[in-house]
Amino acid sequence: MFRARVHVSLHDVSPAWDAEIDHALAMCAEFGIKPGLLVVPDFHGRAPLATSPRYTAKLRALQGAGHEIFLHGYFHRARPASEGPAGDGRPSGVTHAFAQSVVSAGEAEFSDVTRSEARERLAMGKKVLEDAGLAIDGFVPPAWSSPPWLADELAQMGITYTEDHLSVSNPVTKRRRPSLVLNFASRTKARMASTIAFCRVARPLGHLVPTRVALHPGDMTKARLRDEARNLLAWASRQELVSAQRLVEG
């Protein structure tokens, strides 16, 4: 049987989601899967890793056991509306509004900063993970929202893996491949139903392009999504499970 090439990851790894991430890790372990961990240095400005030594010790142990660690934004939040409309070179307009309201409900952090702010946050995030003794296997922007200049910034930092909605790439070598992502949206019933349906019908496409299975903490909070996540992981466990780097390199 031809197997799809699949990478599994857990998004929004943070002390803010401790129980949900543990739950997702246990579910992955049932299928012998070691997901990549997308770590947020300070989720919504209320869960700083830098002052969570027990949590960073846990992450070090997980990396030691073979889990990849990815930097996943810094705050994982766009600028609050209370700070006023976009100005001083900040992104604005229809695409920006779409990125914030439709795709991510305000989580598209890197669509809402200037390039120099992004550079600062990337450097801060890298430092938090490195100070915690974690090696960085790549960068995944929150809500997969990746401005055109982001790849160059990542290349300058020597980061060799990133991804957006439609592709996986190595910013240093500039190699890019189209890639399918299977994930669930939990915010509204309608979106939940449509993403569940998509994850079912799109699986066969995994035989054509490298595929990502992305689980979120919210997937662990509803019985229906837990069942779907388990179902998706069972499918993934029958495929060829690879590192993110292998997804790009083929």
Strands (E) across the chain are located at 5-13, 36-39, 69-71, 138-139, 162-163, 167-170, 175-178, 180-183, 211-215, 240-241
Q: Is residue 217 close enough to count as binding Zn ion by CB under 5 A? A: no
Q: How far apart are CA 202 and CA 227, in angstroms?
A: 18
Smallest Cα–Cα separation from 44: which of 20, 12, 71, 22? 12
Site string for Zn ion, 138-177 (x = CB under 5 A): ----x-----------------------------------
Strand, coil or helix: what is 228? helix
Instruction: List the structure tokens of 140.
Output: 């995944």
Q: Tell which phi-psi region holds residue 148, choosing left (phi > 0), alpha (psi between -120 and 50) or beta.
A: alpha
- Minimum distance, C-beta of residue 12 to Zn ion, in the bound complex (Å): 4
Other CB atoms within 10 A of residue 82 CB: 5
By beta-carbon distance, which residue lies closest to Zn ion? 11
Q: Judged by CB, which is closer to Zn ion: 70, or 235? A: 70
- Minimum distance, C-beta of residue 250 to Zn ion, in the bound complex (Å): 26
Residue count, binding to Zn ion (CB under 5 A): 3
Interacting stretch for Zn ion, rule CB under 5 A, among 77-85, 135-143, 224-232, 237-245? 135-143
- Minimum distance, C-beta of residue 11 to Zn ion, in the bound complex (Å): 4
Site string for Zn ion, 9-38 (x = CB under 5 A): --xx--------------------------
Residues that bind Zn ion (CB under 5 A): 11-12, 142
